[in-house]
Chain A
Amino acid sequence: MQTRRDAAILWLFLILPVGYMVAFVGYPVVYNLVMSVQDVTLGNLATWDRPFVGLGNYVELIANERFRLVVRNSVIFVTVNVVLQIAFGLAIALYFENRFPGARYMRGLFLAAWMLPPLVIGALWKWMYAADYGLINYVLESIGLSDGPIYWLSNPDIVLAAVIAANIWFGTPFIMLLLSAGIANIPRELYEAASLDGAGAIQRFRFVTLPMLKATLLAVACLATVYTMRAFDLIWALSQGGPIDASNVLPLYSYQLSFEQFRFGGGSAVATFSFVVVFIVALLYVRTIRHEKAM
């Protein structure tokens, strides 16, 4: 029998998380959605009395050349980051599975990159990318791979690649850590059985590691997508999205619209685009996790 007191406690424990979600997640999301269909300026920001413009902000965005460039950049930035972070992360995780002396310490060192604030990493890479005194140009020139300075961050054709490289360096260790945990969960006997069945190293990877890691890989891909979708500070420190938006991505553009041009409606509309993508990926992630548990 459930007493009244039990019921009260149940309600309390239900209301606490739901209330938290509504206040700190639901409200901002809805507020953003509302702003995206209004014409919000500095003048009316403090009031609720804002002109309703329907999908005006969205229509304007889609017609905007600049926005389309930012979307294109974002797609490239996220796709290349996710693919290469997982590829490198998996390669490094597998490498550290060979338990050579010092493997654990070296793996710890790799994590250092992930422990630094993105702003610091951006500043470091900015120095390394510097055209005249940067480390990267110095190395390339001294081994004869280039005969003049490469303008990594001021050439619109290569700035996105430069920013992507820095973000891969920043994100890979965490991916490696997640994949290492997944690899550690694969029973050793499966590898032993496979090598008795005649599988070499490549076949063991193909027929044991990959299928056993499938769920983990999918979950990690979702996480990596969400993490790179929201990349902001590293790019801010490196290039501020420039030159001429060549390395601009959605969150940065949303910030610039809202807080540099004070076009809050437009900024909110950009944020809504990001939100929809992240939300779909997050749903996929939750599904993957649930599937993994059911296995």
Chain B
Amino acid sequence: MSSLWIITLSLIYLLVLFGIANWAERRAVAHRSIVNNPYVYALSLAVYCTAWTFYGSVGRAAESGPDFLSVYIGPTFLIPLWWVIFRKIIRICKVQRITSIADFISARYGKNRALGGIVTLVCLLGIVPYISIQLKAITISFSILSGHQPLATQSFWSDQSFYIALALIIFTILFGTRKLEANERHEGLVAAIAFESLIKLFTFIAVGLFVTFGLFNGFTDIFSRAAEVPDLQKLFVLPQEQTGSWFWHCLLAAIAILFLPRQFQLTVVENTNENHLRKAQWLFPLYLLIINIFVLPIALSGKLIFGNDTIPSDTYLLALPLHFKQQGLAFLTYLGGFSAATSMIIVECTALTVMFTNNLLMPVLVGRPSWQKGLGSSGGSFVLNARRLFIGVIILLAYLYYKNVSDKYSLVSVGMVSFAAVAQFAPAALGGIFWKKANLVGAMGGILAGSTVWLYTLIIPSMVSNGFISTDFLTYGPAHISWLRPEALFGLESMDNLSHGVFWSLFFNLIFYVCGSLHFGQSALEHNQAALFVDIFKYDTSYERSVAWRGKALITDIVTLMSKFFGKTRAERALTLYARRNKLSLQTKYADPMLVNYAEKMLSGAIGAASARIVVASVAKEERITVDEVIDILKTSQELKTVNEELTRKSRELEALTHQLKQANDKLRVSEQQKDDFLSTVTHEIRTPLTSIRALSEIIHDNPDMELSQQQHFLTTIIKESDRLTRLVNQVLDLERYETGRYQLSKETFSIQTLISESINSIEQLAKEKEIIIKTSYQGSLGNIYSDYDRLMQVLINLLSNAIKFCPSQNGLIEVLAKVENGILLISVKDNGPGISPELQALIFDKFYQAESKHNRKAKGSGLGLAISKKIIELCKGDIQVQSTLGEGAVFTFQIPTMMS
């Protein structure tokens, strides 16, 4: 393929990426984020797979078999712990607006400038070689594809990798430094990275399928053919002496994936939802698995096809399709490798520049009041320009490193050395979120010691092999002190170079970290941050209230400060919103501590925790706060939270109580109304017979000459009405006694059958008069019951006389059914009268229901019978109901226990 074509297509590919990023950002603005999605999140994490995975894995597999897998197995083993580790880190970073690993460590240990700076430097040292191998990968793949071998000696003007570097600089600047964000999130970037991850995966699989099924007859074919070649047999097993180093390589990868700047950027800073972690926890390892399926087949095929040709195994992925004249597939492969390299470079550079400006540049600059004054309102663009410049610096450094050093190493070994550098953050970062006592001295000591040992054991040897340092240094040690030999420190010779370096660097790192933390104390701010980090889930809501800030700052100063970095409108809007949300006033002279703190948090997002602390301190006169006071503040805010919760609970209880009271009141009002109704009904029921009695007696009195028979009739009526009155008074009194519970049941044992037959006896005459037939049916033997005989008889008679009352004048039929089941007596009385409408069934047991239902024919009776029956049955711990369909009669049923305790 011609170079021009490759360059054009590469540029088109970059434009596509740029289009995706733009699209994603527009979606984010429209609140229809595509990045807020666990699948995109998981894909973006696959930025882990760089060109080193793409080309290097095959190379490594071709040289030493399954050894390359340690880089994937380590993270996969640790991934179940991500929920514990990353969820905490993500929450902390969101609460404190932390935007990089350097910021994270610096913030935990008292927002210390020096610590943030050191972490940034270590990252730079560790990552530049790593970026350089991406450059190398692109350059090599480019030259293989174009068939244009780079000349051995050349000025960089004629070096294609230099131009690649320049293109990458421009592209990374376009991607990573579009605007200054307080949360440093880049949705467009994430979308593009996720897309590149897909491209990597597809192209790798495409080559894998071509090689495995196109050139060979599947996996078994490749493996069985390779097994016949003695040289290749060793690739099937791990050499005995390597099993120890396997452990170290796995551990190294497991730790590095947590703190590599690009991984931290995508896992933590770009995370939109903690719960996405859950899906990523299995999607990401799945991605690693799939992309590695074809590594060994391709490596073995390369070996089988090229034998011991001069073709480097790192390039098999491209060389195989080219060898078989598959230009298209080769270009796809190139594109996959290009994706792997560019995604790594973009994210890594973005993360590094954020660290550089926030932890190195800004803390130094903002420390000078004169600089702040000269800045005016262009703080934001200053930071952006600094970042753009720095992206250029990083990529050029990587280019130089590539030209002078990493050209001589395989992709994998350089990557592992970078891993070892970021692994130095593990003690400080992990200890920081789980160990409150961990302090600045420990963290600083640990990281310094660890990185020094890293430099000594892993970088110096590489400089020796490049001829910068004499080989004597390696063979005999500095000044011939043999136990200081960089590759056999303290006489440890049994490990491979990398494991050796990882072991000693982490060993010293941990020793310094633990001892420093145990031996020294913490500053107030550090103590505060330690508590917040370790117990983030306890504090995350009360964070703003709990910050140890006690100073005076003019509101105008705060606004000016914010305007410098975010522009006047944005700053004012943010502050107004915050003030409104927290009911603070912006009209006062001095700012509320919460507001000051919010400003600091916003600024942290843009310029880092340490710098933000410095600029805020420059406008606020802070009073020193002792550790005890900090603890007090934290305690108070915690207590306030508890008190607040208590109050919320109390008010909820009060609400419930009010509701209950209202219900009781309503009930009372209803019962008051019922009492009124009852009284007026009773009055009516008493006055009616009284009226008759009085009228009739007066007539008899005033008319001595009236007919005797009529006189007799009137007198009989008077007597009947008097009876009615007496009965009514008795019933009202009865009901009152039952209702108030003053009535005592007089319990005795008696036969159920006797109860029923006696009740029927007493109304038999009435029934006969209306020619009503009464049928009884008993299920099983009824036996005895221990209850109140007279009262139950009253109920039965009442039900029976009601039935008689409502039976039709012809063919009246009453059926009485009785049975005992599980110690419960059930008696029902059924008539074939007109029935009761459903709405009345609910009222029928109410007092004087007759009087209320004016639209029904008024039957004789006080209207208290059923009310009294219900009360009696309730007193007997039973239950009475009615079932009826209009036109089909009614059934009254009651159940009571046969043994009343």
Chains A and B form a bound pair: no
Q: Which residues of B contact A (CB under 8 A)?
A: none
